[in-house]
Amino acid sequence: MATAKLHHHSIRFKIDTRKSVLDLEAFREMLHISPRIPNQPFADLPTEEEVLDFLRFLGHSQDIRYLTDVNVNKLYQPWRSFASVINKCLTGKSSGVDSFRLSQAQMLWGLYHRINIDFAYLIWEDFVYQVEHKSQKRSNEMNYPR
């Protein structure tokens, strides 16, 4: 039996009888993600409006005013494939209308522009989102970054 709960800026896990606590810094260290150039901070993340402009630039074939309007299947290749891989790896979704959360769209933006963004932070944000919303799912399973 496993449980996960959000506690301040960390996630508390209990697997069988073993308890663990994970925060962003431990998560980043676990993934071995750090800036490419020592002492250079990560680049600022794009805002939602900048991300929407970027998705329009990639050729999203429908009108998008909000991130919830985005369907990754409406992007041109290879961006559709990259977006689907990000979505599948973080959420486990593989069919239906695959929408993007801001953190996932920011990852695609960072990959496209080859900018040193904090991918660990974005994965962490997605992970926290899943913990916060796990009660809304039909099953008790919670996907994890692959």
The pLDDT of residue 146: 47
pLDDT digits (tens, 9 = 90+) for 61-106: 788 899 888 888 888 888 888 888 887 777 665 545 556 789 889 9
Higher pLDDT, 137 or 81: 81
**Domain enclosing residue 46, as ranges:** 42-136
Assess if residue 25 is contained within a domain.
no
Assess if residue 31 is contained within a domain.
no
Assess if residue 58 is contained within a domain.
yes
Pseudo-torsion of CA 61, 62, 65, 67, nearest 10°?
-70
- Helix, strand, coil % (nearest 5) of the chain? 45, 10, 40
Assess if residue 7 is contained within a domain.
no
Assess if residue 55 is contained within a domain.
yes
Please report which helix (H) or strand (E) contains residue 15, including its range: strand 10-15
The tally of domains found in the chain comes to 1
